[in-house]
């Protein structure tokens, strides 16, 4: 039984946010990836289109989410379902860090508005 201890999680930083990776093929997962996201106060991630479904659960704080052009405020306990092909933006307009838990399938890629692609190491 693979157990990933908190001390073994790998931290990545991009666009001002931290991604703490727990479940990946490197830790024994066969189909899914899961990570904790920390979105500092004032952070605004660029819009990006994903190729895999993501389940985004907000553990703490509040965020403004843009999903396919629609803006929605979410709070701790809310869950966002991001379907493949959806364009997502995340903004933390508050004065404290928001914390999320995200799950997706292995192979997630994101395309930014400028056409560049990101293959996040925490999701592959």
The CATH number covering residue 56 comes to 2.60.120.10
The residue-averaged pLDDT of 30-36 equals: 97
The reported pLDDT for the residue numbered 1 is: 62
Question: What is the count of structural domains for the chain?
Answer: 1
Query: In angstroms, rounded to a whole number, what is the distance separating the alpha carbons of residues 67 and 49?
Result: 10
- Three-state DSSP at 18 gives strand
The residue-averaged pLDDT of 68-93 equals: 97
| 119: in domain | yes
**CA nearest to 88, candidates 54, 44, 120, 47:** 47
| 2: in domain | no
| 1: in domain | no
| 40: in domain | yes
Domain extent, residue 67, equals: 9-123
The residue-averaged pLDDT of 36-49 equals: 96
pTM for this predicted structure? 0.93
Q: From the CB of residue 14, how many other CB atoms can be counted at a distance below 10 Å?
A: 12
């Amino acid at each position: 039984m693979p157990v990933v201890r908190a001390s073994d999680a790998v931290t990545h930083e991009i666009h001002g946010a931290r991604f703490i990776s727990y479940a990946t093929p490197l830790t024994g997962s066969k189909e899914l990836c899961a990570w904790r996201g920390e979105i500092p106060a004032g952070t605004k991630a660029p819009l990006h289109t994903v190729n895999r479904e993501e389940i985004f659960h907000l553990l703490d704080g509040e965020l403004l989410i843009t999903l396919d052009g629609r803006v929605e405020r979410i709070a701790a306990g809310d869950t966002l379902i991001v379907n493949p092909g959806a364009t997502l933006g995340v903004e933390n307009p508050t004065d404290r860090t928001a914390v999320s838990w995200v799950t997706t399938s292995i192979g997630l890629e994101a395309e930014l508005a400028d056409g560049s692609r990101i293959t996040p190491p925490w999701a592959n």
